[in-house]
Amino acid sequence: MKSGKSNLLRQGEKTIQVILKWIGVSRTSQQVQVALACQSFSQRRAVAETHGDNRNINMLRAGKEGQFKQYLSMNQIQEIEQTTAFL
């Protein structure tokens, strides 16, 4: 498998099922698909815009893979990458 950060974008359902299994939670494929659809970048941005939530609109930025590296320290990036390496 590729790193966790890209797996979540490319293989969302499969990656979420791995995480759920790891924490001892079981969800159907349909439940995971609905959760992913509700949390997609475009969905989250649309909800924030509908509610006039400028703070969340700015926080969402562009929704591109690896974008977090532009905003975090090297230590934070390394911690995220080490934590998600098993995904």
Residue 6: its pLDDT value, please? 60
Average pLDDT, the chain: 78
pLDDT digit string, tens, across residues 50-80: 877 766 666 666 656 777 787 788 998 888 7
Q: Which two tokens stand for residue 49?
A: 């815009």
Domain ranges across the chain: 4-84
Burial class (CB in 10 A: 0-12, 13-18, 19+), 62: exposed
Residue 4: its pLDDT value, please? 47
pTM of the shown model: 0.52
Residue 74: its pLDDT value, please? 92
- 12: pLDDT strictly greater than 70: yes
> Taking the alpha carbons of 28, 29, 33, 34 in that order, is the dihedral positive or negative?
negative
